[in-house]
Structure 1
């Protein structure tokens, strides 16, 4: 029996250097489990009294076939992809070579802010007991997210205080859809709690409810592809709000990660913001070039990787945006858009591989630089 068997729950004492930090992995509750963690009165008042049907908007081309998941990630017991920690461990850590994985459960949203926060509270309790516990995190490869509802800043700050200091909670997880934009002082309690405890805030692409859906100026999109692109526009607006509304000046140690919002668009946006700043310095209160704020405070995950036919174009873009300063590797497991780290590392500039594949992740999430050795684990590079 090797340490890869689920019966072996004690991590080995020998350690090895981290070479792959996966910043976007999605654990999913088993059917019927999460409802028990939702606090009252919201469990009865909202979630049990509002039967919810299909709420997927403009989804992936293979949604009808596999719900936009890798077909091999569904466990044999018939549960949904991402519900089995042992299967995820074998596929992502042992086979693909990820050394540390940032778990990002996507808490069910709600129209009411208090209900959304109740859902976030339940998600944190579930993640702690079902993925970060001694039985399922014996290998010390999982790191969790403190999920909060950004539309309830006071409740979000309380939840951050509740979980800050947990040995395996490595980031705060929010969504970008709720209005107004993040530069509004109403969100300051969240940024204050994050910087107080030196925890990175990550924003994962989400599917908003009702009017919180990202809407381009010309109205709702028609298809999956333009719907997904609209999330980059949403992230671009939040980047500008963070910078020009002075969030990073009010909270100079704040770190933000945009997950699954793509990243190539940040290069022309930095150029444009710098040009406007140079022309209108006397009209704005920020003290540095916008691109400097981006490189010091904001990072992006690699998935989805926009891959042109001419690979040299991608390499040039990596060079121009100084990818070694702002990119974090991510696989998006178990989704159909999964990027295998062994594939992605080959497409990075050689000088940036260490930074993108593991060093930025270690620094951003305050992770250890070594992990327990696992017999038979694939090494990415």
Structure 2
């Protein structure tokens, strides 16, 4: 395949309108590539005895063969899927038709918040040097995430401040697992810093070690599929905490994106929160219905898209939850659950397609409306 980027790697003078913003793409370090970026003393004290950036915990079909990745995403050199920016560019931008992709590296939580933040710091430097640099982002299609350990607020704030001015860092990336819930004032410095720099805070589901794993009120689940459902419950609890503990009243311009936590459950949750609010309004300090906070401050990614056999029921749910206000398209590349943008548009109500596929993404991440043209790129809309 002959492409312009293989010939001279310079952005074309012509531009095209952004029509697909992918809000969940997973870059992965090559073996031994990340360790050098992790700051001391945690590089030597904690991470040199771990395999950093080489493993994934995931239960899916054909795991033993493909590690739950798309089988065609393995680079020719034998590295892990997501480790080759050029291959990802060809498959995701040129062939699938995404125009801008939000990169979300994985930060595995540790039992030491300071060590988790050290890993996040290393990942930020690695991402800037291996994906967002002029060599690998010559096409200006990649946007990065400032990884931060929410359970280490002081160091997280310093990390956010360090990267906030980077031209290709478009969001702050945290995990939902640390306790207590996000409504606790100890996290206010992180929300304040996000608001200060007008950065959206994105939360990707994660799986750490020991007590850092998500735990329902009745204790740890027995199976991996239980955990997969638990992630949605975790997001629901964080949303309730954000609203009822007044985070959005303290920070009226704060925006939160929940990535890969599913989203169909938000409709009955809004109904339930509104009902409780109506019944106990005199006991609640917030000033609006909870559903109004959700629609103004919270967004969800489309993958995973859970839908019933009767697709008309999904359409009705989209309309009731006002999906055009709260959903962002995501592919989950390079995982086996990859949702091609050309597939997703067929499942969206026509009235919501433009907003879900690109308009909400442009607004949420403050992205440009036009990008340099790419020779041979497929167009979705």
Q: Secondary structure at the match of 1:125?
A: helix
Q: Conserved in 2, the CA contact under 8 Å of 1:302 and 1:328?
A: yes
Q: C-alpha offsets along residues 227-249 of structure 1, whole Å, 9 cap, x if unaligned? A: 10100000000000000000000
Q: Secondary structure at the match of 2:170?
A: strand
1-structure distance, mates of 2:331, 2:202: 15
| 5+ long unaligned stretches in structure 2 | none
Paired residue for 2:174? 174
Q: Conserved in 1, the CA contact under 8 Å of 2:30 and 2:54?
A: no
Paired residue for 1:279? 279
Q: Conserved in 1, the CA contact under 8 Å of 2:116 and 2:149?
A: yes
1-structure distance, mates of 2:170, 2:259: 15
Q: Conserved in 1, the CA contact under 8 Å of 2:194 and 2:200?
A: yes
Q: Conserved in 2, the CA contact under 8 Å of 1:331 and 1:339?
A: yes
Q: Conserved in 1, the CA contact under 8 Å of 2:24 and 2:259?
A: yes
Structure 1 position 325, deviation (Å): 0.3
Paired residue for 1:197? 197
Paired residue for 1:269? 269
Q: Conserved in 1, the CA contact under 8 Å of 2:4 and 2:375?
A: yes
Q: What is the 5 A alignment of 1:232-243?
A: 232-243=232-243
Paired residue for 1:40? 40
1-structure distance, mates of 2:210, 2:55: 10
Q: How many residues align?
A: 381
The answer to whether 1:121 aligns with 2:121 is: yes
Paired residue for 2:364? 364
TM-score by length of structure 1 reads 0.97
2-structure distance, mates of 1:343, 1:50: 39
Moved over 3 A (4+): 1-5, 49-58
The answer to whether 1:149 aligns with 2:145 is: no
Paired residue for 1:305? 305
| 5+ long unaligned stretches in structure 1 | none
2-structure distance, mates of 1:172, 1:57: 23
Q: What is the 5 A alignment of 1:241-256?
A: 241-256=241-256
1-structure distance, mates of 2:172, 2:232: 20
Structure 1 position 222, deviation (Å): 2.6
Structure 1 position 290, deviation (Å): 0.2
Greater mean deviation of Cα atoms: 62-71 or 95-104: 62-71
2-structure distance, mates of 1:210, 1:220: 10
Q: What is the 5 A alignment of 1:74-153?
A: 74-153=74-153
Structure 1 position 212, deviation (Å): 1.9
Q: Conserved in 2, the CA contact under 8 Å of 1:6 and 1:86?
A: no
2-structure distance, mates of 1:315, 1:109: 37
Q: Secondary structure at the match of 1:258?
A: strand
Q: Secondary structure at the match of 2:23?
A: strand
The answer to whether 1:289 aligns with 2:321 is: no
For the aligned residue pairs, the C-alpha RMSD in angstroms reads 1.6
Structure 1 position 292, deviation (Å): 0.2
Q: Conserved in 2, the CA contact under 8 Å of 1:60 and 1:224?
A: no
2-structure distance, mates of 1:75, 1:48: 26
